[in-house]
Structure 1
């Protein structure tokens, strides 16, 4: 089977830094793949908070991860400071992709991971998917606001 590749943009709308703790390290003495997914989750949550949202309240609607791709290009170790660049792209009626570029400051900002999480907006009270809330476009992708109203 061919390797998965991601083509991500050079520009992202948000960045946050997370240090690698001993709890992220696996038996190979580097950040484990499962722990990287948790770090991506933290970065996504910080992105949402920066825009005044939580995972269960984006204009009264929550979100749910529908797919995930993580492409590792380098290791990272205890004490490394990672920069998570985060953006949103590839919108449809019910969701979009969160995209990530993770760089290691301890290694001259070397690329460690490229990733994406596909999300759908979800009404947890009704237990069904929901349209992307207008307020999400307004705060996170205002350049797409006109398209969303069409």
Structure 2
């Protein structure tokens, strides 16, 4: 299911929230917001959902490594994003929570095995990312 954005989301291919590389049968999906400890915002959530949905449909892949740039794997939700959400209506909050749940489901239900390569701190929603992986490796 697709939940429409009630606020504009810039999840364009030029976004830098996420990098995706493929080498042979292995894809590497890297959270790329080290300046905020790879915290979620609406763009990162949209990119992760779309990326794992697409990668899961690739019959050539045998594994997906979920990694992160910087010292922290993921600090959960971005505080500035959460502050902006404080004024959201019930419908906006519900749609936002549904998009987060859909992103986590896209990772959890991905038919390609997901290996989380975890370094540093993991908090709140970041723990959810780790829990969605099939295998977790602490580095």
TM-score by length of 1: 0.26
More strand by share: 1
* Larger Rg, first or second structure (1 or 2): 1
TM-score by length of 2: 0.27
More helix by share: 2
